[in-house]
Amino acid sequence: MKASTTYQDQAVLVLGLGKSGFNAAKLLLKLGAIVTVNDGKEQEDNPQVAQLRELGATVITGSHPLALFERNFAYLFKNPGIRYDNPMVAEAIARKIPVLTEPELAYEVSEAQWVSVTGSNGKTTTTTLITLMLDENRTQGHAYAAGNIGIPLSAVAQKVTAADVMVTELSSFQLLGTTTVKPKIAVLTNIYEAHLDYHGSRANYVAAKMRLIQNQTADDFFVVNWDLPELRELSRQTKAQVVPFSRLGNSEAGAYVKDGQLCFKGEVIMPVTDINVPGDHNIENALAAIAAAKLMDQSNDAIIDVLTTFTGVKHRMQFVTSYEGRRFYNDSKATNMEATEVALKSFKQPIVLLAGGLDRGFTFEPLLPLLKEHVKAIILYGETKQLLAQTAREAGIPVIKIVDNLTKAVPEAYAASEAGDVVLLSPACASWDQFQTFEERGDVFIKAVEQITD
C-alpha cells in the first residue's frame, strides 16, 4: 500500500454504511483520519458499527444530523448510491467540502496499475473476463477484480503490489466522486438511457461516465465501442490512445469480428462460435476484454482458454439449471430496458419472462417488438407490473400474469412454460422496490427455482 498523508489528522465524514463506506472508513482510520460515519438507517445492531467504534471512529445512525458539520470536515466520502440532493451531501457542497467516493481513496493508496471498466451494460462481465485473462498463466502478481462488481476497492487497494493489476468496475455514481483516478486502460462498453432519476439528464449521465478518462495521458489507452456513433464522437475528448472494438467490423484498429473470427489488429484470435456464453452482447464484451488483455501483453492462449470456458457472471444471464426441458436463466442485473432487450435477443427458444421492479417513471414501449418476437408468456410483479402488463397486452402476449412478488412469480412462470422454453428473469427495472440489491433479487429467484426443481 502506498503511503499517504492526505487524510492524516483530517476530519472526514463517511456517509453510508454499505460495503464501500465500511471499508473506506477502516482505510481512512489506518491513514490517520479523524473519522465520523453517518447512516440514515438505524444500525446500532450492526456488528460493523461496533468494529468501527473500536477502531476509533464516531458512528451515528438513524438520522442525518446537520449539526455534525460543526466538526469542520475536510472531506466527505459517500456511498455511491446516495444522491447529491441528500441533505448531508447538499450541506457539504454548500460548505465547499469535497464530496468523494471510494475509488478516489483506493486509487491514492494502490500500488497496482488500474484497468477500469464502465458503461451502461456489460461492465461486470467485461471486468470479469479481463480479470480472468490477465490472471491466466501469470508468473508474477495477480489480477484482482474490484469495485461495482461487489468487492470493495479500498480493501483490495491495500493488499495489491506493483506486480499486480486492479481491474475495477466503476459505475457513473462512483465516477462522479473522483478527481485523480487515472487508469492505464479505460474501457467504455456502451452508453444507453439509465439512471436519469439520479443524474437529472442524459448529458449529466454521459459526463459522469466520461470522468473515467479525465486524467489519462498519451501513455494510456481508451478502449471504446466503435459500433456506437455517440461513443466514436466522445472518444475525441480523450488524450489517451483510442483502441476501438467492433462486433460489426466498423474498425480494424483494435479488436473486431471478421469472417466469423475474433481478431486484434490483424491477428486472428479464435472463432466467434467458440465463445461459451450466448448473445451479441457477449461478443462485444469479449472484444473489449481482448483489447484490454492484448494491450497488457497477454497471450492468445490465455484469452482463448478464458473465452471457451467462461460460463457467465452470477445475476447476468446466469444459467441456473435445466429441468424437464426448460432452461432457467437469472438476469437480475438487467436493471434497465436495454439490458432486457439484450437478454431477449440472446435466445431463439420461446421465452417465459419474469419482469418488474422499481418505477422510475418510464414506459416500456421500447420492449414492444422484442416481446412480440420472443415472449410467449410474461409474469409481472413490483411497482411497474401494470405498466409492463399494458406493453405486454399491446405486444399480443397470450399469457400475462400479475403477482405480488418474485417468489410467487417463479411457479407461475414454470406453469406457463413447457419443454424447450427458456424461463428468464430479466426485470428491466431496478430492484429497490422490494429488494436491497439486484443480487438479493437474483438469489431469491434461484432459491424459488430450486424449490421447483428439487
Q: State yes or no: 121 annotated in a binding site.
A: yes
Cell, residue 241: 490512445
* 365 and 254 in a common domain: no
* 414 and 334 in a common domain: yes
| Tally of domains within the chain | 3
E strands, 213-297, in order:
221-225, 241-246, 255-258, 261-264, 267-271
* 295 and 265 in a common domain: yes
The domain boundary residue, chosen from 71, 100, 129? 100
Q: Phi-psi bin for 315: left (phi > 0), alpha (psi -120 to 50), beta?
A: left
| pLDDT of the chain, 454 residues: tens digit per residue | 999 999 999 999 999 998 999 999 999 999 999 999 999 999 888 999 999 999 999 999 999 999 999 999 999 999 998 999 999 999 999 999 999 999 999 999 999 999 999 999 899 999 999 999 999 999 999 999 999 988 999 999 999 999 999 999 999 999 999 999 999 999 999 998 767 778 889 999 999 999 999 999 999 999 999 999 999 999 999 999 999 999 999 999 999 999 999 999 999 999 999 998 888 989 999 999 999 999 999 999 999 999 999 988 888 888 899 999 999 999 999 999 988 998 999 899 999 999 999 998 889 999 999 999 999 999 999 999 999 999 999 999 999 999 999 999 999 999 999 999 999 999 999 999 999 999 999 999 999 999 999 8
Question: At which residue does the C-alpha cell 471504446 appear?
Answer: 224
Q: State yes or no: 38 annotated in a binding site.
A: no
Kindly report the CATH number assigned to the domain that includes residue 204: 3.40.1190.10
Kindly report the CATH number assigned to the domain that includes residue 79: 3.40.50.720
Q: How many separate helices (H) and strands (E) can be counted in the chain?
A: 17, 20
Q: State yes or no: 122 annotated in a binding site.
A: yes
Q: State yes or no: 124 annotated in a binding site.
A: yes
6 within a domain of the structure (yes/no)? no
Cell, residue 385: 407490473
21 within a domain of the structure (yes/no)? yes
Structural domain that includes position 416: 318-453
Q: Where are the alpha helices (DSSP H) in 87-218?
A: 87-94, 102-109, 123-135, 153-157, 172-175, 196-199, 202-210
The domain boundary residue, chosen from 243, 278, 309? 309
Q: State yes or no: 36 annotated in a binding site.
A: no
* 144 and 282 in a common domain: yes
Q: State yes or no: 273 annotated in a binding site.
A: no
* 24 and 112 in a common domain: no
* 239 and 118 in a common domain: yes
4 within a domain of the structure (yes/no)? no
